[in-house]
Structure formats: C-alpha cells, structure tokens
Structure 1
Amino acid sequence: MKKIFTSVLFCASIFFYAQTGSLSGNINDDAKIALPGAKISLNPGNIYTTSDEHGNFVFLNVPPGTYTMKIDYLGYGVHEYNVTVEPEKNTRQNIVFDKKENSIAEIVVSGATLKNQARALNKQKNNANITNVISSDQIGRFPDANIGDALKRVPGVTIQNDQGEARNLIIRGLAPNLNSVTLNGDRIPSAEGDNRNVQMDLIPSDMISTIEVNKTLTPDMDADAIGGSVNLITRASPNGQRISATLAGGYSPIREKGNYTAGFVYGNRFLNKKLGAVFSFSYNNNNFGSDNIEPVWSLANDAAQTAYISKMGVRYYNEHRIRHSFDLNMDYEFNSKNKIYASAMYNFRNDKETRYALGYKIKPVYNADETEITDWKGSITRQNKGGDASNDNTRLEKQKVQNYALRGEHLLGSKVDLDWSMNYAIASEDKPHQRYIEFENSKMNFSQNLSDPENPVITPLAADNLGSYKLSDLSDANSFTQEKEFGAKVNVRFPFSVIEDQKGRLRTGFRMRLKEKERENDFYAFQPISNMGSLLSVPTVYLDGHNFQAGNYIPGTFVDPAYLGGLDLFNQGLFNGKSKPEKFLSSNYTAKEQIYAGYIRWDQDFNDKLSMIVGARVETTKIDYTGNYVMNEKDLVGQINNTNTYTNVLPNLSFKYVPVQDLILRAAFTTALARPNYYSLVPYLNVISEDEIVAAGNPNLKAT
C-alpha cells in the first residue's frame, strides 16, 4: 500500500511540475472548410488525438522537443509535418489539405461532392462510441426536405411519417420519447404538449452540416437517451470567404401544384482572421395533399354474425407547408489558448391544412326474430376542418424552435483543457382558431358491397339530397404549448494514464438544465341565432374524386372553406357561443423540471489496438407540476401541485479494438434513462360522479 501511495504521489508530481507544453491547431481542406474526425499523431511517442467538428485539435502535457506530426484522413491520405513543442508554451499549427487521394480502397474519389462524405466517414471511424454520421452532401443527393427524411437512411433508424413527411424518430426500435435530439450538443425542447418528442420535420435538411446518430452513450452525454441520441451540427465558420446559393423546384402530382426550395450560405473571417462568421438561410414551400378511407368493421348480431362496415370516412386533405430557417455561427480567437463561439438558430414551420371528411354511420336492421339482416340504415355527415379568415381559412399549425448558445474553449497551462457552454432554447406550437363545421343527413338507407375488403363500397339507396343536411356541429378551438430550457455545462480534461507510453485522459464536468412547459387550450361550440338552413343554403365546393389516391371514391359536396373562415362566430348577435371545458380543462397544465448532473470519464489505451472508456454519470431530477382539479369534466374546483425528486447513477463501459487498419470492433455496456411524458406526470383530477369515474395523472411515475 505504501508503494502504491508513493507511486501515485510521484505521478502527481510529474503531472503538476514537469516542464511540458501543449500543441493545438486547426485542419481545413483547400476550400477552407474544417475537417472533423482527422486522426493526428505525434512521433516519437504514442500520442494522438482527433479533430472536433470545427477541425480543432489539442495535445496536452507534451514533453518539449521536435516531433513529426502525422495526419491520417480518409480520402486525403497521410500528411506529415515537423513541429517543435516548447516547455510551458502552446504551439499553434494550422493545416490546410490541398491534395486528395485519387482512390480509397478501390473507391474513386471524384471532385468536391465527396469531401463531406469523407468528413462523415472519418468522424464515424474515430468516434469513441457507436455512431453513424451523415454529411451534408449525402443529404443533398436525395430530395430530403427535412432532417427526419435524411435520418431514415441511417441503419437502425426508423421514422414515423405525418402527411408523407418524416416526423418522429425511432432508434433501434425504441419509441420516439426514448430518444434525444441536440443541436451542437444542446438539447432541443419539444413543441408537443403531451410528450417529449422533437418533431424532425421542423428543421430543413440543408441547414445542417453533419448529423451524428449516437447509438451508445458516454458519461459526458445527457443520459435521457435509451434508444439513442441525435446531434445536429450546424456549419462552422470557414477560414476564408464562402458563398453558396441553391434554388430548386418540383411538382406534386397528387394536388398538381409546384414545390419550391431555396438556400443561401455566406461565411468569412474578419478582424485579421480572429473573427469568423457563417450565415445560413433556408426556405421550403410545399403544396401537397393526401387521400384516405377509414372503415371500421363490426360483427352483426344475426345468426351468421355478418361482418359489416359500421363507420367509414372518406377524407381529402389539402396541405400547404412552409418552412423558414435562419442560422448564424460566430467564433472569436483571442489567442492560441482561448476561443469562444456564439450561435443562434431560428426555425419555424407553418402548416396550413384543409380537410374534407365524408362520414357514414351504419346499423343493421333485423327481421322479427333477429336472425337475418333486412336493411342497413344510418346517417351521412359532411365535415370541414379549417380556420378563420386571418389564417387563410385553413387549419393553421405554427411551430417554432429557437436556440441561442455561447461556448468557450480554453487551455489552462499545458495540462488542462476546459470548455463550457450556455444555451437558451424555446419551442412552441400554436393552433389558433381551428374550426369545424358539419352537416348531417340523419335518415338514410344503404347497401354495402364488401367483395373487396380493401375497397369497401357504401351506396345510399336514395338520392343524397343536400337539402336534407342540417347543421350538427360548429366549433372554434385554440391550442398553445410552449417549452423553454436553459442549459449550462462545464467540462475539464487532463492527461491520466496508468500504462506507461500509452494515452490516457480523465474528464469530469457538471451539467444543469432548467425546463418550463405550459399548455393552454380552449374550445367553444356555437349555434346560429337565425337558422342557417341546409347544406343547400350555404356556399359549397364539390370534390369529384379526380386523382383520388385511395380508390374510386367521390367525396362530394362540402361547405366552402371561405364561408367557414368568414363566419363572425364571436358576434353575440349572430351566434350563441358556449365554452366546453370538458374538451380542454383537464388537459391544461404547467410543468417545471430541474436536472443537475455530474460525471467522470476515463479514456485509456492499453496498446495501439485496444482502448477503453469507463465512467459514470449521476443525474438528479426535480419536478414541480401543476394540474387542474375538475368535477364532472367542466367545473374547475382548483389546482393540484406536486413535487418530486429522484437521483439516478448510470455507469458506462466501452471498448474499441482495431485488429487491422480498416476494421474496427466496438462493444459497449451503457445505462440511460427516459423520463415519463409530460402529461403522464401532471397531477390533474377529473371526477365524473354520475358515471362513478375518476381520471387522474400520476406524478409519482418513475423514470425508465
């Protein structure tokens, strides 16, 4: 024991008092764009590191002397440079690769289109954990309008679609709420009210330089990512002027309309190369639609238990989706040891939707002893979903995500590397004045042709007279959800190796996340003071089924969206409006979460082939949720507040083995967590005394 203690003191004295230096720099290609994931080694000695997403690298605790610095980069070959490290000083070495290899293991590299692919492969090859990396040029090879569409090309990643575009992320088969999404390492909040999902169709694909899909975690990463973590990396400032502009168009045959996309990038360095800046802009305008049928099958009570369609919807959607995105990234280099970064990104997406829904409700008519079906009777509804005139008479859904960040990187002497960051992010979803209007013909007889179960045919036996349709529903609803998050973290890294002549690093740090979320919904039902008449009495539109994708169906006649949008519903001289608390009161809430984390991570090389990462992360979560106490769905009794605190200890162990140059084997044991969805934790209480029903949230749910 005495010998071990003496050895530790000896190692500590060498670390703190030995006269060593540091070496840092930046690697760029001939277009002055950073090269991340490069492997840089110093000879003699077994000292190496990799460049980060900005192309920066640093060697700590380097003995003074002259070295050969070797840089190995896929697609560019191996380059060597002579460098001299002086005691107690930082040597700066900036590298520009101006010559590429012509081939990589029989794969020909041609032109600039594969440069970013080489960046992605290098980063994926040299990352410590199990990752997949996508570069911007790989995204640009496909018509991927958003990040979700690009991600679905990654092995082990599946995407849930909404209106034909990728939205919810599934990694390794695990649900969207079990994954996390970050922007330059900072968390992106969720704009949805019930869950923690980040909608991947909100961010345009051309605003991102690199996408990292982390399928295993290391202790320095946020722990709430059981399935995995996706890190979106924006463009870094180039080392010289860069201007890029794109313009594209397309055609959507389902609605026979055009689609438009534009992008612009400008980057440069100023103030004698100390200040770098890159600005990006993206615009996407997409007109499309979707058609579907929604049959509900039931079994009749006759002797044969006949299968029939009890409900069926024929739905026709018009969708107009507009995405804007702005991004500004800046960096300022005070000297070779101190650099700060500032970034701001603003994304918003407007969904303007009009939906026409033809609905059938059908019941069988039996003979006297109820052994046979003699007829089918029921009703037909014709419903519009839209919005008021200020929203172009459409159901508008506005989603916004903003992220503002400040980061710093510092060399403290020659042995300690420190970085820190602060960020503030806001995500919101606003659905103003979403309106429904429905007319119903309640006395109809039908026949059913179910010979093709995938295309059932419902036919009214009498003429579908528009004069028989009476107003059955008229409503206006608002929904607003907002989540804010402030985050801060600091990390310290220094050399620590228990094996002589082998690289070892010890990292430790602290992380704080303060989150607030609220949801405010309302709902009003209306009755016209004067009789609105029948469907024949109001302006209408007719959908003849042209190009209907779900089969040979004719949706028919519906209220004109402009008429619905122009109704002055809140004019008490024209309409009687009534709030419907049962539609929203128990769903409104406020939530606060505080997450504090600390970690320790040790990277150790055993030899030039085998390396290890071991460590643990401790996260403490404090929640403060407030929900509504509701009687009989409509009477607000008061509010219920609940707090809870829990702590998770999460160990991690990873190995990386490189038996030959072009083969890497990885193994990992990692632990992570998933906090329950927001609404699952809300302490709401809805007591329906007449039906003897109590609905309640569960604020004591534990993290998975």
Structure 2
Amino acid sequence: MKTPLSFLLLLLATVFTAQAQRPSGKIIGSVADGNGKLPGASVKLLGVNLGRSTDLNGLFSIANIPVGDYSLAVSYIGYEHHTQQVSIAAGETVDLGTVMLNNTSGTALEEVTITGTLATSQAKAYNIQKASSAIVNVIASDVIGKLPDRNAAEAVQRIQGVAIERDHGEGRYVTVRGTPLQWNSTLINGDRMPTSEGTSDNSQGTRTSPLDIFPSEMIEYVQLAKAITPDMEGDAIGGSVNFITRTAPAQRILKVTGAGGYNNQAEKGIYSGSLLYGDHFFDRKLGLMVSGSYWQRNWGTDNFEMVYDQQDQAVNELQLRDYIGQRRTYGINTGLEYKVNADHKLFLRGIYTDFQDDETAYEHLFNFPESQFDLRRRRGIIGINLSGGELGGNHHSTGGRLQVDWKVSTYTTDMETRKPKGSEAASGVYQMAYFSAPVSFGNLTVDGKKYLDIDAPDGYQGDHYTRVLPHLSSPVPAEQMYLSQLLALETASFERDRSAQLDLTLHPSSSLQLKVGGKYKKKYLERGSPMDIYVHLGAAMGNPSYTSNYQTESFPSHGGFLSELDRPYDGVLVDAITLDQLDKLFAPDALADPLYYHLTMDEKNPDTAPSYYSGNENVAAAYIMGDYKLTDQLALIGGVRYEYTKLKYDGNEVVRGGTAADPTTEINPVSNESDFSAFLPMLHLKYSPLANLNLRAAYTRTFARANFADLNPTESVNLIFSPPMISRGNISLKPTFANNFDLMGEYFFHDIGVVSVGAFYKQLENVIYSAQTFQTIDGVLYRVTQPENSESGWLAGFETGISKRLSFLPGFWGGFGVEANYTYTTSEMNVPRFAEDGNGEIVQTIATEVLPNQSKHIFNAALFYERDALMIRLAGNYKGEALALVQGNPENYRWYDRNFTVDVSASYRFNRKLTLFLEVNNLTNEQLRYYQGNRNRPEQLEFYSVRGLVGLNYQLF
C-alpha cells in the first residue's frame, strides 16, 4: 500500500512542476448522433501525437495541449469523418459542446447501414472494443433487449468464447473460455455483484451470479474483459462481465415498450413492458434517467432422469418430471448526473430488481431396488432481489493534467422462499408431498436389478437409452397410493457488499497517462436452509391416507408428456393431488394430526447444522498503471494490482460418536480466520498499423477466490465408521492463480463489422478440487473429505470471428450480413486421488482431468438482413460437451451433452417513433441432456419447446 502512495506523491510533484514549465490548455466535449452519445469515438489533433477516445457516455478530454491552432478530427466506424479548427490558449479549457456526426454520407449503402436498429447498436459496441486498452467485447442495449435475447446471459453467449448454462430453458450462468463458473466475475458498474443462491444445484455456495435476475432494459452496455487491466478487480481468470447501467441521456427521451407472446410447452402467455424517461434540467446541469421494466413468462419442462448405481451402473431409479412455472422479473433503475462546471461532475445511481420463480412439479419416481413407486407433488416460490446504488464524482484540475474519480457503493442480494397468495401454510415454504406404493417391476435381473443394454450382464436384455420403461406388472391405481411424508423447505441466502474507491489519473505528458487508485470492500454473507419433515404413520398403523381421498388432477395438466419421444410413458402415469390440496396439507391444523412424526432439520440438527454459516470478507486493493503512447500506432499499457483479503467464517462442528447401537452427537460453534495476498502484474501491447487494425498482446496475472461453501468452517466427524470420517471446509485454501497470455488481432470494417483471431494460454496454480485423503490425528487414522489445492494445471485455445455486412452485393442483396465465431479450448489439471488397492492398502495416484464446465468447441452463427425499416436475424449457438461433475471413476462422471439452439428475431420501423419487433426462441426444440460416463447412459433429459414474443416500441421523444 505504501509503494503506490509514495509514487503518487512523486507523480503529483512531477505534474505540477511540468505545469509551471510549459503553457498548455485543454479540450473537452462529447460526440453524438441523432440517437444519442457515441462511445469509443476517436478524437485526434492532426499533426501532433495527441488524442483520446470518448468514454461510455460519449465524453472526451484532451489535456496538455501546447498553445496554438489545431485541426481536430473525429472518426467513428460507419460514420462520416468530422474535422474542425480549435485554438488553445494557456491555462484555458475549450468546451466544444456536442460534436454531431452525420450518419448519412450521401450513399444509399451507408444510409441503410446506420439507420437500422442492429447497425447503430453494433457501431457503438465495435467502437468501444476498438478503442479499449484491454481485450474486451461489448454488447449494447438494443442487442440485449430485443435481438433476440430476453436476458443478459443469453445475449452474452453471442460473444466468441462464451457459453451459458440454462435453467428450465432460460439462460442463467455465463462461463468464458471454458473456465469454471466461479472463475468468471460479474460486475455492476465496475463493482463485483454480490451473488445469490439460485435454484440450480451448480450454484449452491459458489460465487456465481445468476444473470436472469437482471432486467435487460436497465443495461446500457455489457463489457466482457478477457484480459483485464490493473484498474479492474483481479478475481477474473476466465473473464470479467461488467453490466453498465443507464445514466443521464444525451437528449430528452421517453420510450415505452409492450409485448406479449406464448410458451408452447406451458401453453400459456408471456408479457413484458418497460418505460424509459430521461431529460436535463437547470440549463442542462442536472441529468436524469429513470427506467422501469416488468417481464412475466410462463414456462414448462418435460423431463426424465435416471439415478445409477456407482459400482455397476445399474439403474436404481427412473424419474418422470413435469414442470410448470411462472417467472417474473421487475425492476427500476435511476441515474442522476450534476454538472457543477466543465471540470466537475457528480453522479448518483440506484437499482432495485426482483426475480421470482413460482415452480410446480408433478413427479413419478420408480425405485427398482426397493420395488417402490413414489408420486411427488411439489411447489415452491423462490425470490431473489438485488438492490443498491453508488455515489461518486469526476473532477479535473485546471489544465486537465489531473483527474480525480471517487465512488462509494453498496449492493445487497437476498434470496428467500416466498408464500403463495392465499396459502394456508404457516409460513413461506417449498412444499413437497410424497405418496407411495409397493409395485412389481418387470425386465429385472435375477438379483432384482435393472440395466441399460450397454451395461447389461450376459443373458439379460436391458432397455435402450432412448426408451427406458419401468415395465410395471400392472398399473398403479389411486386407491393404492398412500401419503408417506411431507417436506417443508425454507431457503435463505443473504449477501451485502460495501465499497469505497479512489482513482487518480495524471497526464505528465501528451503521450503518457498514469493512473493510481485504491479500493476497500466489506462483504457479509449468511447461508442456511431449515427443513421440516412430517412422516405420515398412517400406513404403518393400518390407517393409510390414499390419493383417492384427496382432490386430484391428471398428469400432465398441459399437453402431452415427452411427446418428442412419442409419449412412451402414457400408460404408467397416474393422477396426483392438486396444488390447492397440496397447500391444505401444510395448514397448521392439518399438520397437527397425531399420525405425523415431525422432525425439524435446522441449525440444531446434526444432519443440517453444517449448512448454516456466515462469513466476513474484507478486501483492500491498490494499483498503479500507465498508458504510454510510444507512437501514433503503438501503445504500451502496464502496471500492477495488489489485493489483500481477510476472511472470517463462523459455522458449526458436528461430532458423532458412540456406536451404531448407541450413537452420540455433539454440536459446537466453530470460527476460523485466514488471509492472503494477490500480487498481479499486467502488461498490454496495442499496435495499430492501420486505422482500423489492432494487434494486441497481453500478459495478466489473475486469481479466483474459493467458493463460500469451500471456506465454510463446519466440520462433521463420524466416529462410527471404520475408519472414522471427517467432512469439512477449508478456510486455509489458497485462491487459484493464473498466468494468462493472450494474442489478438482485430480488423474493423467501415460499414460496421469486424474480423478477429486470437489465441490464449492460462497457466494455473492451486486449482481447488474436492479431495479425499487419509490422515492420522491423535494416533487415529481418519478418512478426510475437504476441498484442497492441486499443484498445477493449464488451459489453452484459440478463437476467431467475423461480422460482415455484404454491402458489396448489388441492390436487395446488399442488405444481408453474416456473423460467426468459433472457440476451441482444451485443459488439464493434475488431481491426487486416494483408493484402496487389492491388499487393502491406501495408495495415491495422480489423475489428469479436464476442467469442469469446459467445452472444447463453442460457436455462434447468424444470418441477418437489414435494409430501410426492416431487420431480420436468424442466430444459432452451439456448446460442445463438457464435464459437469467428477464422481467416482470416469464411468460415473457427469457430462453436459452438446447443445445447439436456434433463435430468430425481426423488427420493422414504421417511423422514427414506432417499431414493431418479433422474437422466437428455440426454434428446433433443442433438448438439454446430461449423461453418465457414456453418451448412451443418460442422466437427465429436458424439452422446453418453442417460445415467442411480439411487441411495439414507441418513442414519444
């Protein structure tokens, strides 16, 4: 912390000395077109090595300009060049106001290119990418909101090297260049977004943020940095996804959007609406932007899953699941800017979003070893809200050689289980009811096991993976299905980040920009999910409560079940209780029935106490970086970032002793502390031999903090087993570090497009994995399961992409364009494994494995047409197979199967105010599929069908 501070004082002395020696001035202003400010515009003084690019708000500032007369040139991809004369006087600031660029250069081609909805959005994105010092990709708001992606995750997947994970057909999590989810950071206006526990098992206890909680109308840009600079937060091995929210507009605006659609799987509607208002007041000193949005979508999923025996791959359970749900996302975002004068500005941003998923499921569970059939009916409402804001300022010294930026912010996420309207339950719970019946299955081996044909023993004909049936000896009537138990689950997750930062930018000379800064952040988090189990003893006491005693409905209640597989299960599906009936079972009076045995699973229960923990993480960071322009074509950007992290986690220690016949249990609070430092040098080279050509090289050192669940200090000790077992978190985990090497070439077409090719290599240290070891503690040998750091690993690949308008074609054909990108990634990490040999001895081996969630092949392809008022886009996204979970031996590993989705969008602009748009997702009804070890051994298969939306966008002014 002392080194950057000392260097800052030295730089300040240098700046003020230089100011006294040479008279100079400064130019400020903004660049815009008829639709608003233009970020990434190149602003240069001709004949001298002086220039800047406009920031995300379209603003520019050029300091240290020697006194004299100059020609100022402004250029922007797809726009006419602009030049004007300026005169610089000593110690003065020349405010050029807004430089307007002409988006029609007199040719029909450029009129078409620039006035289209897609074109203007692409122009902004490519100009930001072209001007950036770091290796970044950018998506502007129009692409996110309307073309054809309904949330930020699905929009980001269009970027080369990016893949997403879906939840019931809707994009949720983003992974970059095949790295694990938690190696990618999600930011809001440059601050790490607090995470929230989603409904996916992959998200529990991780640092991964679900992106579907973010309404697209609130986002101005999404920046994906693949090679960061020192002024960015350093925990981003894969990439850093930064959501930049809307602030004050370039001009007065009032825009209303409304849309409606249909989900074919749910056979129900989709609705959305948004309002955007922005204006300036008090002689344009005060700028205001307010946006609000509401998006409600019904969804449905047909699903079957199978659970296998880890030893011989026998099918232990077949599950048939029919899901119906309704998701609702709404939010409001405000942005205020106050321009004190040309050199000083204050800003205030606030955001509130609320995501709610009301999910119901109707499930058939066929347990082959137990000869049992379970019918499960469940409903739960999960809510996640994100709230917070930031206050900051931008200040320039006289002459513009020193810029001071500061900001304080706070953001909170809160996840909870919510109570349905009109519910009779005592509190908000995730409700599950089990009805059971003994059954007789056919097509089993002599020892009562069921296999697929690829795993079947000699003399047994197993089921083919495309048609796995329960082979019931006879249908199960409702009169035989008795109530066995109820589960009431409450989910709670809370996380809050508070931070303060200060950045100083200095301009010692016209070719050198120096930046130093610091940031302090405090994080607090809580996790814990209580559950109540009510075992119904009626069947055991000769007084069963059958399904036929309750109000029921058919399975499924909408359309056919797994019609994509020709509905093979119609003959085994039975009726289940309605949702109203389910809620009545959880009413306080109903639960008071003496036939229920009640068990509370909370912090005082040894089985669930380990899931309760809280944590404090304090991070202090400082950095120094320089941007040195050696020539008009060559720039060097380098520096170092230092981050210090202090951890303190509180949880529970659970000790089980005694014997199997006489067990004892003890629960004690436990608290652990740890800290670590991260020293992160970074260097970027940017060479532009041509105006529209960038050649980039970068070395960056980044890291990834351990997941919250891995740091959980909870320890569970079971002394009954031989050898005794310990399962625990590991507060002493080191973060995973990566030395990243990147090469990238980009050529930007004048008619809005780009072709790029790049390669990357990541040398990994301390990769975190789940380890099982044998340790001697106080003379006793224990089997210990806890997260550990592996010694080494690597990830490498290359990527290429093109976006090109076919403007060279004549007439009608000149409106076509193509977009395509492809990324290849491969990886290895060495992980110690322990097992017993044939003599019962414990031996260690080193297993070489690929990183989880890494797809070797990812590509996007799109064909679009844009001319006059019409835009049509057909887009496809492919994600290759990826390792999802390491369990047992390779035959037991869980794999995500390859996936290819196709979407279409279109818009027609009637005039400058009114636009009609259409979007349709999942045209080919692509399935989501997981398998175990072998592609012909499915674990999970889901179908979502097609969904679509049509709407109007009306801009009053």
Scaled by the length of structure 2, the TM-score of the pair is 0.67
TM-superposed deviation, 1:546: 3.5
* CA distance in structure 2 between the aligned counterparts of 1:614 and 1:221, rounded to whole angstroms: 13
Match of 1:467 among 479, 488, 510: 479
Q: Are positions 1:30 and 2:40 aligned together? A: no
What does residue 368 of structure 1 align with?
Answer: none
Once the 2 structures are TM-superposed, how far is the Cα of residue 240 of structure 1 from its aligned partner? 2.5
Displacement of 1:528 in angstroms is 5.1
Superposed CA deviations along residues 37-57 of structure 1, whole A, max 9, x for unmatched, are: 111112342110111111111
Instruction: Specify the code of the residue in structure 1 equivalent to 2:521.
Output: R
Name the CA distance, whole Å, in 2 between partners of 1:200 and 1:509. Answer: 29
Shift of 1:297: 4.8
Structure 2 counterpart of 1:419: 405
8 Å CA contact 2:104, 2:114 repeated in 1: no
**1:145 CA drift (Å):** 1.5
Which structure 2 residues correspond to residues 210-225 of structure 1 after superposition, within 5 A? 210-225=221-236
| 1:408 and 2:393 matched | yes
Choose 633-642 or 119-128, whichever is displaced more: 633-642
Give the match's secondary structure for 2:269.
strand
Distance 2:666 2:210 in 1: 32
- 3-state SS of paired residue (1:459): coil
SS, match of residue 504 in structure 2 = strand
Q: Show the counterpart of 2:447.
A: none
Cα gap change, 1:133 to 1:573, in 2 (>3 Å): closer
Deviations 1:109-159 (A, max 9, x none): 142522222111111111111111111222345231110011111111000
Matching of residue 315 in structure 1 with residue 315 in structure 2: no
Matches of 1:159 and 1:103, distance apart in 2: 42
Letter in 2 for 1:13: T
Task: Give the equivalent residue in structure 2 for 1:267.
Answer: 278
Provide the residue aligned with 1:479 in structure 2.
Answer: 491
Larger deviation: 523-532 or 412-421?
Answer: 523-532
Q: 1:253-279 CA deviation, whole Å, 9 max, x = no partner?
A: 112111111111011001111100111
Select the residue among 485, 506, 524 that pairs with 1:494.
506
Residues 383 and 16 of structure 1, relative CA distance in 2, 3 Å threshold: farther
Do the aligned partners of 2:81 and 2:101 also contact (CA within 8 Å) in 1? no
Q: 1:162 to 1:102 in 2, by over 3 A?
A: farther
Correspondence for 2:88 among 85, 90, 97: 85
1:202-217 matches, within 5 Å, as 202-217=213-228
Q: 2:599 matched to which residue of 1?
A: 578
Aligned amino acid, residue 292 of structure 2: F
State the partner residue of 1:97.
100
Taking the aligned partners of 1:485 and 1:210, their CA distance within structure 2 comes to 22
Verify: 1:526 aligned to 2:534, yes or no. Answer: yes
The answer on whether the counterparts of 2:15 and 2:506 sit within 8 Å (CA) in structure 1 is no
Match in the other structure for 1:331: 337
Identify the residue that residue 344 of structure 1 maps to in structure 2: 350
Shift of 1:490: 0.8
Deviation at 1:451, TM superposition (A): 4.9
Q: 1:381 to 1:573 in 2, by over 3 A?
A: closer
Kindly report which structure 2 residues correspond to 1:174-573, keeping only aligned pairs within 5 A, or say none: 174-192=179-197, 194-297=205-308, 309-363=315-369, 378-386=371-379, 395-414=380-399, 415-431=401-417, 432-447=428-443, 450-496=462-508, 503-527=511-535, 531=543, 533-543=545-555, 546-549=559-562, 551=565, 552=567, 553-554=569-570, 555-571=573-589, 573=592
**Counterpart Cα distance in 1 of 2:536 and 2:588:** 11
Sort the Cα spacing of 1:300 and 1:631 in 2 relative to 1 into closer, same or farther, 3 A.
closer
**Is the CA contact (8 Å cut-off) linking 2:626 and 2:637 kept in structure 1?**
yes
User: Secondary structure at 2:248's aligned position in 1?
Assistant: coil
Q: Match for 1:341: what amino acid?
A: F
Shift of 1:177: 0.4
Q: Encode CA deviations 1:58-113: one digit per residue, 9 max, x unaligned.
A: 11222222222211111222111222233223221212425214499977514252
Aligned pair partner of 1:684 in 705, 710, 714: 714
Deviations 1:637-678 (A, max 9, x none): 221111112111100010111122222111100110100001
Superposed CA offset, 1:377-401 (max 9, x none): 7111101121xxxxxxxx0000111
Does 2:619 match 1:595?
A: yes
Q: CA deviation at 1:296?
A: 3.5
Aligned partner letter, 1:524: D
In terms of mean alpha carbon deviation, does 352-361 or 461-470 score higher?
461-470
* Cα pair distance change 1:683/1:451, threshold 3 Å: closer
The residue aligned with 1:651 is 681
Report the 3-state secondary structure (helix = DSSP H, G, I; strand = E; otherwise coil) of the residue aligned with 2:229. coil
Is the 1:144–1:205 contact (alpha carbons within 8 Å) kept by the matching residues of 2? no
User: For the structure 1 residues 579 and 91, does the alpha-carbon distance in structure 2 shift closer, same or farther, using more than 3 Å as the test?
Assistant: same
Residues of 1 paired with 2:71 and 2:276: CA distance?
37
* Deviation for aligned residue 1:426: 0.3
Q: Summarize the Cα distance change of 1:527–1:300 in structure 2 as closer, same or farther, 3 Å threshold.
A: closer
CA contact (8 A) 1:281 1:327 kept: yes
Matches of 2:120 and 2:33, distance apart in 1? 9
Worse overlay, 91-100 or 279-288: 91-100
**Structure 1 residue 613 corresponds to structure 2 residue 637:** yes
CA shift, 1:237, in A, is: 1.3
**CA 1:260 to 1:595, structure 2 compared with 1: closer, same or farther past 3 Å?**
same
Taking a change above 3 Å as real, the CA distance of residues 75 and 300 of structure 1, as seen in their structure-2 partners, is closer
What are the equivalent positions in structure 2 for 1:57-206 lying under 5 Å apart?
57-97=60-100, 99-102=102-105, 108-113=112-117, 114-192=119-197, 194-206=205-217
Q: Which letter does structure 2 place at the counterpart of 1:702?
A: K
Distance across 2 between alignment mates of 1:665 and 1:595: 35
How far residue 576 of structure 1 moved from its aligned partner, in angstroms, is 4.5
Where 1:115 maps in the other structure, the secondary structure is helix
Q: Residues 588 and 17 from structure 1, CA distance in 2 versus in 1: closer, same or farther, beyond 3 angstroms?
A: farther
Give the gaps of 5 or more residues in structure 1.
1-7, 302-306, 364-376, 387-394
Gaps of 5+ in 2: 1-11, 198-203, 418-427, 445-460, 658-663, 737-957
Contact 1:75/1:102 (8 A) holds in 2:
no
Map of 2:775 onto structure 1: none
| % identical equivalent positions | 28
Aligned AA for 2:532? Y
User: Is the Cα–Cα contact under 8 Å of residues 345 and 395 in structure 2 kept in the other structure?
Assistant: yes
Alpha-carbon distance between aligned partners in 2 of 1:10 and 1:533, rounded to the nearest angstrom: 85
The superposition leaves residues 182-207 of structure 1 with CA deviations (integer Å, 9 ceiling, x where unpaired) of 11212211012501001011112232
Give, in whole Å, the separation in 1 of the partners of 2:56 and 2:683: 24
2:59 counterpart of 1:56? yes
Give the direction of change, closer, same or farther, for the CA distance of 1:567–1:215 in structure 2 (3 Å limit).
same
Alpha-carbon spacing, 1:357–1:204, altered in 2? closer, same or farther (3 Å): same
Write the distance in 1 (CA, Å) between the matches of 2:307 and 2:76.
Answer: 58
Match of 2:123, SS?
Answer: helix
Q: Secondary structure at the residue paired with 1:153?
A: coil
Match of residue 46 from structure 1? 49
Per-residue deviation at 1:9? 9.8
How many residues are treated as equivalent by the alignment?
A: 666
User: How far has the Cα of 1:440 moved from its partner?
Assistant: 1.0
Distance (Å, rounded) in 2 between the aligned partners of 1:236 and 1:70: 27
SS at 1:458 equivalent: coil
